[in-house]
Chains A and B, each alone.
Chain A
Amino acid sequence: MKGKKFYAGVASALLLSSVLAGCSSSNDEGSSSAASEDQVTVDIFQYKVEFKEQFEDIVKQYEEENPGVNINVKTVGGGNDYGSALKSAFASGEEPDIFNVEGPSVVEEYKDYLTDLSDTKAADAALEGTLESVTDGEEVHGLPYNQEGYGLIYNKTIFEKAGINPDDILTFEDLEDAVETLDNHKEKLGIEAVFALPAKEKWVTGNHLSNAFVAPEFNDNPLDAYEAETIAFEKGDEMKRFLDLQNQYSVQPSISLDYSQQVEELFSLEGVAMIQQGNWVYNAIYEMDPEFAKNNIGIIPIPVEGHEGSLPVGVPNYWAVNNNSDDEVIEASKDFLDWLYTSETGKEVVLNDFKFIPAYEGYDTSQIADPLSQEIYQYADEGKTIGWVFMGYPSAWTDNVLGAYIQKYLSGEMTWEELEDISQSKWEEARQ
């Protein structure tokens, strides 16, 4: 028995020592990184999964050109995932040096951590209006990623076959006529329905669809929306009309239709003639059918009275630099972002590898890679745009309120008036 006890003692001592060893090993790492003192390490925490590889490549190139800088990139997929991951990073003390802020509400939340970037070259070069939602007085708290735009993406061949000229579609009535024509010749055109409305994706209805009709109310400015105590739904009837049209002529049940069915299954395989989406779908369509993506898709604006022929164009996200980092790290971060958006090499990469619509001056925009982006850039260039005010909606209002109630409306469990009333009161609640 004594022998048994002895072994038990030894075993437990071993266990304990291994536990303690586990704790202490982190200290060793700390001392080894301190050895190379002249190195500046910049931690980047970003959200855009689509360009992860291209971004890492360009970071490597930058590191080679600037041997004193060491950059670590961490990517976490879009939406809520990124928001919560970023928050955890801050809460756990592992604050990144460069991170992403989406709009006014995130800026407000991280206010104490944001460096003023107004002295950067990139901030100077940013296109007019792109900095609005991250500017506080003189201070600029973020640098735009790129520009994105959305509208009704259509299938050129189907439109041709049906004898519709997309350039003629400006007002709601024009669109209605076109939709009816398409619907009447469904069989001849070989389509299942005119639209694919993915009401399951609350961002498509709650964010994008509503934005086109709400933007005029807030002067196309996300900050105005952010400061608004209430929302009037001035163009609520128009919004209803447009939603109804999409729903009526959509593949059913629209309420369980999701993004990948909409873009990959239905639109890319030419099962529908039109979808409400933005230039970000280009890669998905390209993967399905490169030929179709290159030659056969175009975009027409959502018809908003008084704003006919304008596309909602905006900046999806901004780069922010952490104020808590050491001064040299902040400098290095700013230099990197400047280099990325204003150096010749950077510009090349932004256009050709990232396939971005640039949000900065001084780009050779004829090089924009895909036709959708090209078209959207033209609209932006001619100033025919509607703002992205949904960045200024109360956080989660789009998802948990408007998007959800639109589903309820579409399934017939709620009238449009009820939807407007309840969304309005939820907005006011959130703003108190």
Chain B
Amino acid sequence: MRNRDVSFWLFLTPVILSLSLVVIIPFVYGFIFSFTNWNGLTASKFLGFSNYIKLFQDAEFVNAIWFTIQFSVVTVILLNILGLSLALIVTRKLKSSNFLRTIFFMPNLIGGLILGFIWQFIFISVFDDIGSALGIEALNGWLSTTTTGFWGLVILTTWQMAGYIMIIYIAYLQNIPNELIEAAEIDGANSFQRFRNVTFPLVAPAFTVSMFLTLSTSFKIYDQNLSLTNGGPHNSTQMVAMEIVKTAFSENQMAFAQAKAVIFFILVATIAIAQVYYNKKREVEM
């Protein structure tokens, strides 16, 4: 670490400058505003912690947090299982593996808003038509209840992100030395045992990375939520990010929303740090 000469700092300046302009300074400002009655135009009063006290009594905010947590738990599990399975499929010596990789990754290239609208059409119109053609009641009226709205969001997010998580797992799977697998094979391990005892421990670092990614993304989801359900029916599928935007812009309580955002930040940061810490612990050295 002796390279702290002029060029080191010169190279760093643009990044530090832009980072502080768009992230650090607004964050500090927002933190300060969360203690006032800021309405987006002026902040005339310092309120202390009253915004923070108020927000825990805000049923809608608490509901949104609860909904987001449930959603995150389900998507994190699903995404990692699916991502790893897809990765295992395409790392087999299949002729179509390159093609499959592309296909699986593709949803990730479409923006969340568009995806939301596409799936809205699928859930509402396509599901409905299939449901009435085959006489399956359960396919009718998707997105019109809280449960189907929840699963709609889960399906959408999983479909979109699984390919991305797959790529991470592929990278780690390909790093596993062949000798280890061969040795296990010679020792008489069947393919399930090989996976359980050799492959699985060795891709642990991939779990750390992809769990962090899936966790933080599913907590912060906004655009898919907005375009798929827009929080409906009756704001019951509204996630935290959306609830904050609503408080800020449609209820016009900027400072209150800012306080919610601070709490949200602390929540996500705590969970993510804890997750990385525990995952790191169970990684094994190769």
A residues at B contact (CB < 8 Å): 5, 8-9, 11-13, 15-16, 19, 80, 83-84, 87, 90-91, 105, 109-110, 200, 252-253, 255-256, 395-396, 399-400, 404-405, 407-408, 411, 413
Contact = CB atoms under 8 A, between A and B. Distances in A.
Interface residues of B, number: 30
Interface stretch (B108-116, B154-162, B207-215, B232-240): B232-240
B233 A16 contact: no
Contacts of A105: 252
A399 B248 CA distance: 14
Interface in B235-249: 235, 246, 248-249
B39 A9 contact: no
A256 B250 contact: no
B143 interface: yes
Contacts of A87: 40-41, 249
- Majority DSSP secondary structure for residues of B touching A: loop
Nearest to A85: B249
B6 interface: yes
A413 B146 CA distance: 11
B261 to A, nearest CB: 15
Contacts of A110: 41
A396 B246 contact: yes
B232 A256 contact: yes
A8 B141 CA distance: 62
A399 B250 contact: yes
Interface of B: 5-7, 10-11, 13-14, 17, 39-41, 60, 124, 140-145, 230, 232-235, 246, 248-252
B141 A395 contact: no
Contact of B252 (A8, A396, A411): A396
A9 B250 contact: no
B251 A396 contact: yes
A411 B234 contact: yes
Contact of B10 (A13, A252, A396): A13
Nearest to B10: A12
A5 B5 CA distance: 10
Given A408-B233, A411-B144, A83 B14 contact: no
Contacts of A407: 232-234
Contact of B144 (A11, A12, A83, A253): A253
Contacts of A83: 249-250, 252
Among A15, A91, A110, A256, residue most surrounded by chain B Cβ atoms (within 10 Å)? A256
B250 A5 contact: no
A8 B246 contact: no
Contacts of B124: 256
A404 B246 contact: no
- Majority DSSP secondary structure for residues of A touching B: helix
A405 B234 contact: yes
Given A87-B249, A91-B40, A8 B233 contact: no
Q: What are the 8 tightest A-B residue pairs by CB atom distance, in nearest-first order?
A: A12-B10, A256-B144, A253-B141, A408-B234, A253-B144, A84-B249, A407-B234, A396-B251
Contact of A256 (B17, B143, B246): B143
Contacts of A255: 141, 144, 232-233
Contacts of A8: 7, 11
14 contacts: A9-B6, A12-B11, A15-B14, A16-B10, A83-B249, A83-B250, A84-B249, A90-B40, A105-B252, A109-B41, A109-B252, A256-B124, A404-B232, A408-B233
A108 to B, nearest CB: 10
Contact of A9 (B7, B40, B235): B7
A20 to B, nearest CB: 10
A12 B250 contact: no
B7 A400 contact: no
Nearest to A84: B249
Nearest to B251: A396
Given A19-B14, A87-B41, A91-B41, A256 B249 contact: no
B139 to A, nearest CB: 12
Contacts of B7: 5, 8-9, 11-12
B108 to A, nearest CB: 27
Nearest to A404: B234
A19 B251 CA distance: 39
A8 B12 CA distance: 12
B9 to A, nearest CB: 8
B252 A395 contact: yes
A136 to B, nearest CB: 18
B235 to A, nearest CB: 5
A105 B233 CA distance: 27
B232 A200 contact: yes
Given A9-B7, A256-B144, A90 B232 contact: no
Nearest to A9: B7
Given A11-B11, A256-B144, A405-B234, 15 more contacts: A5-B7, A8-B7, A15-B11, A16-B10, A83-B249, A90-B40, A105-B252, A109-B39, A109-B41, A109-B252, A253-B141, A256-B141, A396-B250, A396-B251, A408-B233
Nearest to B252: A395
B233 A9 contact: no
Contacts of B234: 404-405, 407-408, 411, 413
A171 to B, nearest CB: 31
Nearest to B11: A12
A15 B232 CA distance: 48
A400 B246 contact: yes
